[in-house]
Amino acid sequence: MSRRPAKPARGLDRDLADLPEGLRWREWMGRVEAAIFASSGPASRETLAALVGDACRLDDLLADIRAELGGRPYEIVAVAGGFQFRTRPRYAEALRALGEAKDAGPPAFTRLEMLALSGVAYQQPVTRAELSRLLGCEISRDILGRLSRAGVIAPGPRAPAPGAPVAWVTTPRFLEVFALASLSDLPDMDALDGALGQAADAAIEAALDDALGVHEAEDAAFDETEAEG
């Protein structure tokens, strides 16, 4: 992977040439970990590279930090083109029980919302009418509105169709929520091939659940949505 030259942080001794190699590496680890911890969003590779010397192998440094976090309930993950601290998935249920942790795992979307979100993720930009045809069921404005309010989709370009309907796209928040570095990290579409045309089929839902991490706890909400439909 090519690396963009780091923009030096103002007044910061990045190279730390006066330190022994081991201490220099530890200091770089501390800087990078602190920067990721303090960042309000994913910290970009360029941001982190500005804190360390040109001789620093950033991927190796991150690997050492991750190794030290191995026994902790949180980890550093590559999301949305950067790096971010995340609680490990197995603690999401416990954090949700507190009722205060906003980012404890993926939001509790219903299965129909997840189906619509998956359609947008794989087919974007895509209109509501196209989604409904693709998924074989009505995708209402309310469903897209809830996904939009959750910040995982947003209006994209107008489609070249009568009435110029809005086409929907995923957002950087979508990548953060599902811990994806980029859309290219989505599961292979071939694994879901043939599923997207039969929304009511349980096999489809299972495949999408596996792809995007939906949990059984959402079944009840899905049943309620279906009953309302």
Model pLDDT, residue 190: 65
Check residue 127 and give its pLDDT.
Answer: 95
Instruction: Give the closest residue to 212 by CA, choosing from 106, 76, 110.
Output: 106
Contact 120, 153 (CB under 8 A): yes
> Under DSSP, is residue 85 helix (H, G, I), strand (E, B) or coil?
strand
pLDDT score of 123 more than 80 = yes
Which has the minimum average pLDDT: 137-146, 163-172, 212-221?
A: 212-221
151-164 pLDDT, tens digit per residue, is 999 999 888 888 88
What's the pLDDT at 89?
A: 80
Q: At what angle do helices 111-123 and 141-149 cross, to 10 degrees?
A: 80
Bridging pattern class, strands 82-87 and 74-79:
antiparallel
Whether the pLDDT of residue 191 is over 90: the answer is no
Residue 203 pLDDT greater than 70, yes or no: no
Task: Centre a 10 Å sphere on the Cβ of residue 56 and count the other Cβ atoms it contains.
Answer: 22
Distance from C-alpha of 180 to C-alpha of 109, rounded to nearest angstrom? 18
With 70 as the cut, is the pLDDT of residue 56 above it? yes
The whole-model pTM stands at 0.58
Amino acid 177: pLDDT: 83
What is the per-residue pLDDT for 218?
A: 44
Average pLDDT of the segment spanning 101-125: 81
